Chain A
Amino acid sequence: MTQPPEWPWLIDLYFFLGGIAGASYALAAIADNFGSPEDRGVARTGYILALALAPVLALLLIVDLGMPGRFFHMLWVPKPSTAIGEGAINVLGFHVKPYSPMSVGAWGLGFFGAFAAAGAYLSATERPDRLALRRTLGLFGGLFAFFLPAYTGQLLSATAQPLWMDSRLGGALFLLVAATGAGATLALILQLREGGPARTIAKLRRTYTWCLILQAVVLAAYLWNVSGGTPKTVRALQLLLSGPYALPFWGGAVILGVAVPLILEFRDGFPRGYRQTAGATLTAAAILILLGGFLTKFLIFAAGQALGLTA
């Protein structure tokens, strides 16, 4: 018998928003480094969105702690014991455990925040030297940016909880959900601006549709992977596939969140020559992607804790 950590939905909100923040920065850095000058709006928007979300992410985690005032213990403690773990690294009270996703994640989130702040600050003006620095920082920050959505999925997998413990693709799935959602968010934001550049929005649509295809493949692989798990895992999986969570999962996460947006995007011209780059189709597809992505993460998060204390 295991005990669930009883993390509230606030923590799943952290998973979702953290994914959007991280993937937005990553896409911003790619647009910054590989796109044309007209794509710079993606970079600016992505960096600023990442920075805007960063304090919210920290707050969500701190509020959930049993002793929120001690949140910094995840990074530094006054007198650390030398016997805190097999691979633990301990320097002057600063510590990290490479095998604990939560430990590495605390540091990763911190570094990500710093890179997001730098990217947003360097987006305040269009001076060439600032742009060059922003691009370079974006490449390094991009590593932490990709880390942010992936580590939360990995965090769930490195536990003894049903469903989570038997998934080897949790990190991959969470990263892809985040990438799709971030692409959709950036496209929506750019579309909202009067005269958002048509070619840039088309590039974003191509990107997030590609990510959505990967997400669909990995979701299928994830389900197949966990279906071979322990009896408790299979019971938790049944909640998703045929039990109380089946309707939001198949209806929300799969059909509305993946199938319908794919149909809309292919009909509109993916991957070449969109009939129109902005408008109602983009809005519908993007909103459904975000809804489906949120449901995907939330239902996995909930199903792992739903069996509670039953053997």
Chain B
Amino acid sequence: MAKALAMFTDTSVCIGCRACQVACKQWNQLSWEEPVWTGSYQNQPHFTDKTWRLVRFIEKKDAKGDPKWLLMSDVCKHCVQAGCLEACPTGAIYRTEFGTVNVNQDICNGCRYCVSACPFGVISFNTGTGRVNKCTFCNDRIHEGMPTACAKTCPTDSIQFGFRDELVVKARKRLEVLRQQGDKDAQLYGVDDDVVGGLNAFFLLLDRPEVYGLPPKPVPLPQRKVPLDSGWSILSAVGVAIGAVVAFRERGQSS
């Protein structure tokens, strides 16, 4: 495997311009969608089959009680332990040599099990094609030595593209700067393996993950409990079998 690529999204410098959202649409030739009023400038309210980079506007009150926004350019996290990939029964979802996760449109048959297995609500069903879509990490660009479209476009370098190990170092340094400036709530999300083994698109947040609509740490891989659960299923089958065997072995039972 080649060295893992990553995107580090530093929400502390996001200005909510949504150039990333536009660049993604443009590069991937994603069509127009009916705008949905969310109460803020955020549009769409959630990931869709045609919205793969989504700037979230989260309203909260600051220390003085005045309204303010937390801004976050959300994206597919290309998880190290990917729920969508482990769920996919056709093998359509695969991992590239860069660690990114893609959907093979020639194999997907639209069962939507991956949609149910993504802890972040990223991968989406396309009713037109009958298959699922999500951010491809600009698969065509990275194979030509180019950065992702969103990272290239971001005017504040909120979205940074590079090798994962180098970006992790940058992220930790940035967190340290914010802490020294007195920001106690700033935190990294997806750098360590407590979020589905680590994210290849990780974040610096200015509040708890739940505030952004992200699942709080630790985030387990949905499939990890299958062996344990199966034990209970086997036990219940044994219970049924014992009852049935005992009932059917009875001889000469008067009614």
Contact = CB atoms under 8 A, between A and B. Distances in A.
Interface in A1-58: 1-7, 23, 26-27, 30-31, 34-36, 39
A171 interface: yes
B247 interface: yes
A84 B222 contact: no
A267 interface: no
Interface in B66-105: 81, 83, 85-96, 104
Contact of A66 (B129, B236, B241): B129
A175 B236 CA distance: 7
A214 to B, nearest CB: 5
B117 A171 contact: no
Contact of B92 (A7, A73, A164): A73
B240 A102 contact: no
Contact of B222 (A4, A80, A158): A158
Interface stretch (A112-120, A125-133, A199-207, A283-291): A199-207
A276 B93 CA distance: 57
A254 B115 CA distance: 31
A258 interface: no
Contact of A206 (B92, B237, B247, B254): B247
Given A81-B94, A85-B86, A172 B236 contact: yes
B188 interface: no
Nearest to A23: B240
Interface residues of B, number: 69
Contacts of A207: 243-244, 247-248
Contacts of A35: 248-249
Given A3-B124, A154-B230, A171-B233, A84 B93 contact: yes
A204 B244 CA distance: 8
Contact of A3 (B115, B237, B240, B254): B115
B255 A276 contact: yes
B175 to A, nearest CB: 25
Given A206-B247, A276-B255, A81 B129 contact: no
B146 interface: no
Contact of A84 (B85, B131, B243): B85
Contact of B120 (A2, A39, A155): A2
A100 B47 contact: no
Given A2-B121, A207-B248, A309-B46, A95 B91 contact: yes
A161 interface: yes
A81 B104 contact: yes
Contacts of A245: none
Given A66-B110, A99-B223, A309 B229 contact: no
A160 B85 contact: no
A4 B116 contact: yes
Interface in A77-116: 77, 80-81, 83-86, 88, 90, 95, 97, 99-103, 105-106
A159 interface: yes
A74 interface: yes
Given A2-B120, A39-B248, A159-B116, A202 B253 contact: yes
A73 to B, nearest CB: 4
B213 to A, nearest CB: 5
Contacts of B225: 157-158, 168
Interface string B194-236: 0000000000000000000101000000110110111011011
A198 interface: yes
A150 B222 contact: no
A65 B91 contact: no
B155 interface: no
A141 interface: no
Contact of A100 (B113, B249, B250): B113
Contacts of B111: 64-66, 74, 102
A239 B39 CA distance: 27
Contacts of B121: 1-3, 309
A155 B117 CA distance: 10
28 contacts: A1-B120, A3-B121, A31-B244, A35-B248, A65-B130, A66-B111, A66-B126, A66-B127, A66-B132, A73-B92, A77-B90, A81-B94, A84-B92, A88-B91, A102-B89, A153-B233, A154-B233, A159-B87, A160-B222, A168-B229, A171-B230, A198-B255, A202-B255, A203-B248, A207-B244, A207-B247, A272-B253, A309-B46
Given A67-B131, A160-B116, A210-B244, 14 more contacts: A1-B120, A5-B113, A66-B109, A66-B127, A70-B108, A70-B109, A77-B90, A86-B81, A101-B226, A150-B230, A150-B237, A168-B225, A179-B240, A311-B213
Closest 4 CB pairs of A and B: A66-B110, A66-B130, A171-B233, A70-B109
